[in-house]
Structures are given as structure tokens and as C-alpha cells.
Amino acid sequence: MADYDWSQRNILDLAGMGKEIALHTEDLHVYYAQNESIKGVDMAFEKNKITALIGPSGSGKSTYLRSLNRMNDTIQIANVTGKIMYKDVDVNSDQADVYEMRKYIGMVFQRPNPFSKSIYDNIAFAVNRHGKKTKAEMDEIVETSLRQASLWEQVKDELNKSALALSGGQAQRLCIARALAMKPDILLLDEPASALDPISTSTVEETLLNLKDQYTFIIVTHNMQQAARISDYTAFFYSGDLIEYDETKKIFTRPKLQATEDYISGHFG
């Protein structure tokens, strides 16, 4: 690896550009016991855009993403400091209602994790936990969310079938449908297509592109082509720091920093 000056930064000031911000972090640090895995990240996400987080393995992308809806709470040795601002509420404060917040900031994981229930109940179960619906209301929610996730046509005649019988790509789209059924503002996706075949991957990508006018997506990906294809903004992480953050077309054509250019062209990481 070349000898980079890691103190250099190029970070887009979206708020300063007058963009509508869905979420932002201020001086966010994440520690696992004594190890500082995120080292004070200030970053804003534009509403109704797709932002890709890229960087070598271990650079902290997943740690940062998971902190945005307090998923790191489940890790005993994890400690998150700093602010995560969503609609004037600091998601990271002790007063934040984590259960309520996750309705608005949802998450889709790398491995599809459908519940051992029917396709219909995978969605209904999640929705019902946040308030009972009539059968007609629930039918509508199930259909709409499956349509949004581009799965309705394939499963509409077998909604009572076990979700565990779906293919990997279908199961991941069910997980996206389940997350969308909660009507979140923001969806965090941690390498959602890395366990999928190329056709399922492109269906998931199309799904995100079709929905981006209605949702803010933040996606961790190792796939540079995927980041270039679907995201509006790209953030390059290295060793727990946000190094470069810019419009995707700039990052992939003329990034300001050599380290970013070398990373996206496969010279290291």
C-alpha cells in the first residue's frame, strides 16, 4: 500500500449545501471494550437518497451502520458516544425510545433472516407488534410491501407457505418487505445482496432504485460496481474514520484523495 496521508479528508457538507437531512451523526465513536472502532464520525445523510458505505474489511462500516439504530446495544462490550440526530431526537441518548425509533429506522441484514412462519405472517407479525390491524388493513399492508419489494407476483398465490421455503433472493426481498411494512423513513442495509446470486442481486438493486423517492437508504457494500450503480453518495471508511464522502459519480470518476482512488480501483483492501 502507498504511503497515504490519512489526515486528509474530503467530506461533503450536505447541510451546508441546503440538502434535506434525514439523519446525521456528530462526533460518533464506537468502542468494543478498549478498541475504538469508530473514531469520531460527523456525517449527514440526504433524505430520499441512497448512500453507500465502502471501505476495506474491518474499517468500521457495519459498526457505524449498526449504531444508527442502536443495534450495537445488544453487544455487551460495545459503547457508543456522540450524537445520532433523527428529527431533533438524539437516538443515542438514554431517553430515546429504542423500540419506537426502530419503526422509523429499520434494518436489513446480510443473511436473509425470515421468521419460521408463513410469508404472510412474516409481515403481519412485525406490523401487529406495533398495533393491531384489521384483516383487511393487514391484507393491504402485506400486498403493498410485497409489491414494493418486487415479490408479490411470485408469492401472491402462496402467502401461507413457509417463508423458509423461499430462495435466498426471495427471502431477502421478504425481509425488505417486512422492513418496509413498518413504513420506516430510513432503511439500513448491511451488505443485503452479498449472499445472493447475480440475478437476485440485480432484483434487490432495482427494488432499492424504484423505492428511493420514498425512503432514505444507507447501504454497506463490498461491491464497488453495486455502489456505483445504485448510490447517490458514497462514503469511504478506513480504520474507523470517514475519509472521503462525496457524490458517487465524483468518487468513481475523480475522487479527491489518492487513497480512495486506489481503494476503488482495487489497489488495496
Ligand X SMILES: Nc1ncnc2c1ncn2[C@@H]1O[C@H](COP(=O)(O)OP(=O)(O)OP(=O)(O)O)[C@@H](O)[C@H]1O
Q: Does 192 bind ligand X (CB under 6 A)?
A: no
The residue among 26, 37, 34 whose CA lies nearest residue 60 is: 37
Q: Does 173 bind ligand X (CB under 6 A)?
A: no
Minimum separation from the CB atom of position 1 to ligand X (A)? 16
The 3-class SS string of the chain reads CCCCCCCCCEECCCCCCCCCEEEEEEEEEEEECCEEEEEEEEEEEECCCEEEEECCCCCCHHHHHHHCCCHHHHCCCEEEEEEEEECCEECCCCCCCHHHHHHHEEEECCCCCCCCCEHHHHHHHHHHCCCCCCHHHHHHHHHHHHHHCCCHHHHCCCCCCEHHHCCHHHHHHHHHHHHHHCCCCEEEEECCCCCCCHHHHHHHHHHHHHHCCCCEEEEECCCHHHHHHHCCEEEEEECCEEEEEEEHHHHHHCCCCHHHHHHHCCCCC
Q: Does 73 bind ligand X (CB under 6 A)?
A: no
- Per-residue contact string for residues 209-248; x = within reach of ligand X by CB under 6 A: -------------x--------------------------
**Range in contact with ligand X (rule: CB under 6 A) among 17-25, 52-60, 175-183, 246-254:** 52-60
Binding-site member from 61, 70, 173, 178 for ligand X (CB under 6 A): 61
Q: Does 60 bind ligand X (CB under 6 A)?
A: yes
Minimum separation from the CB atom of position 219 to ligand X (A)? 12
Q: Does 148 bind ligand X (CB under 6 A)?
A: no
CB-nearer residue toward ligand X: 48 or 239: 239
Minimum separation from the CB atom of position 84 to ligand X (A)? 16
Binding-site member from 19, 48, 58, 224 for ligand X (CB under 6 A): 58
Q: Does 31 bind ligand X (CB under 6 A)?
A: no
Minimum separation from the CB atom of position 42 to ligand X (A)? 18
Binding-site member from 75, 98, 164, 165 for ligand X (CB under 6 A): 75
Binding-site member from 14, 52, 55, 248 for ligand X (CB under 6 A): 55
Binding-site member from 63, 122, 200, 221 for ligand X (CB under 6 A): 63
Q: Does 106 bind ligand X (CB under 6 A)?
A: no
Q: Which residues of 204-237 are buried (b: 16+ CB within 10 A; e: fewer)?
A: bbebbeebbeebbbbbbbebbebbbbbbebbbbb
Q: Which residues bind ligand X (CB under 6 A)?
A: 32, 37, 55, 57-63, 75, 222
